[in-house]
Amino acid sequence: MVLPMPILRSHHQSDNQLQCAERIKEREFHAQSRRALEYPQPDNLPILTATTYTLGYAYQLQGDYAAASQAYTEVISISKSFGDSVYATAATLGLGQVQEAENQLHTVAETYPARPAIGR
């Protein structure tokens, strides 16, 4: 599964058109992720992780921060169980962004991983 990408604006689009396109994209992320979770494959942790991440991202775009936090936390937990670092990192960053949006700065400091040492 590919991580969602933002819609790029062309010079012909107005702000209203761009906002409309973003809302459609948000609804599509949400609907497709929900649909994928209706067919559970408990043995297929990579698919479950990717789908749950996309659902969390859709919730974040819609401003449903509680649902986004829950999805991202689930992704982090599932990812650790089978050693996936890509979605664990993406979900950690998403969770931090949600916490920032909710002005939970003390929690953000605990969520974001420590900056790795460069050049060691």
User: What's the pLDDT tens digit per position in 28-86?
Assistant: 766 666 666 666 666 788 888 888 898 898 889 889 999 999 999 999 999 988 888 88
Q: What is the pLDDT of residue 30?
A: 62
| CATH architecture for segment(s) 18-111 | Alpha Horseshoe (1.25)
Q: What is the pLDDT of residue 42?
A: 66
Q: Would you kindly state where each structural domain of the chain is located, as residue ranges?
A: 18-111
More confident residue, 117 or 99: 99
CB < 8 Å & 24+ apart, contacts of 33-42: 33/58
Name the average pLDDT for the chain: 75
Closest CA to 8 of 115, 87, 21: 21
CB atoms closer than 10 angstroms to residue 29: 20
Q: What is the pLDDT of residue 91?
A: 93
